[in-house]
Chain A
Amino acid sequence: MAVMPHRPIRVLVAKPGLDGHDRGARIVARALRDAGMEVIYTGLRQTPEQIANAARDEDVDAIGVSILSGAHNTLVPRICALLREHGMDEVLVVVGGIIPLEDVPLLKKAGVTEIFQPGSSTQDIINFIRNHVHRAEPVA
Chain B
Amino acid sequence: MSDMAKSSVVPERRPSEAEQKWRKDVLKTALSVSRDRQAVFTTVSGTPVERLYTSADLPDFDYKRELGNPGEFPFTRGIHSTMYRGKPWTMRQFSGFGTPEETNRRLRYLLQQGQTGLSIAFDLPTLMGYDSDHPLAEGEVGKCGVAVSSLEDMETLFRGIPLETVSVSMTINSPAAPVWAMYLVTAEKAGADSKKLSGTLQNDILKEYIAQKEYIFPPAPSMRLAVDAIAFAARETPRWNPISISGYHIREAGATAVQELAFTLRDGIEYVEWALKAGLSVDDFAPRLSFFFDSHNDLFEEVAKFRAARKVWAHVCRERFRASDPRSWRCRFHVQTAGCSLTAQQPYNNVVRTAVQALAAVLGGGQSLHTNALDEAWALPTENSARLALRTQQVLAHESGLTEVVDPLGGSYVVERMTLEAERACYEYFERIDALGGMVAAIEKGFPQKEIHESAYTYQRAVERKDRIVVGVNEFFGGNERPVETLGIDEDAASEQRRRLAELRNRRDEAKVRRALDALARAAAGNENLMPLLIECARAYATLGEMCDVLRGVFGVYQEPGFW
Contacts and interface: CB of A to CB of B under 8 A. Distances in A.
A2 B98 CA distance: 43
A74 B342 CA distance: 26
Contacts of B252: 21, 23
B546 to A, nearest CB: 18
Contact of A117 (B130, B143, B344): B344
A118 B378 CA distance: 8
A60 to B, nearest CB: 16
Interface in A45-78: 45, 47, 68-75
A47 B137 CA distance: 11
Contacts of A22: 213, 253
A131 interface: no
**Interface of chain A, main secondary structure:** loop
A138 interface: no
Interface stretch (A4-12, A85-93, A96-104): A96-104
Contact of B453 (A26, A73, A102): A26
Interface string A110-140: 0000000111011100000000000000000
A18 B464 contact: no
A22 B249 CA distance: 11
Given A20-B212, A21-B212, A121 B464 contact: yes
Nearest to B208: A20
A112 to B, nearest CB: 15
B486 interface: yes
B139 interface: yes
B143 A69 contact: yes
Interface in A1-48: 17-23, 26-27, 29-31, 41, 43-45, 47
Contacts of A44: 213, 560
Interface string B536-560: 0000000000000000000000001
Of the four ranges (under 10, 10 to 19, 20 to 34, 35 or more), the interface on chain A belongs to: 35 or more
A89 B113 CA distance: 52
Contacts of B474: 121
A30 B125 CA distance: 29
B564 interface: yes
Nearest to A22: B213
Given A71-B143, A122-B464, A18 B136 contact: yes
Interface in B122-147: 124-125, 127-128, 130, 136-140, 143-144
A17 B139 contact: yes
Interface of B: 124-125, 127-128, 130, 136-140, 143-144, 208, 212-215, 252-254, 340, 342-345, 377-380, 453, 456-457, 460, 463-464, 470, 473-474, 482, 486, 488-489, 491, 560, 562, 564
Considering the complex of A and B, which 5 residue pairs feature the smallest CB-CB distances, nearest first? Answer: A74-B139, A20-B213, A70-B143, A71-B139, A18-B124
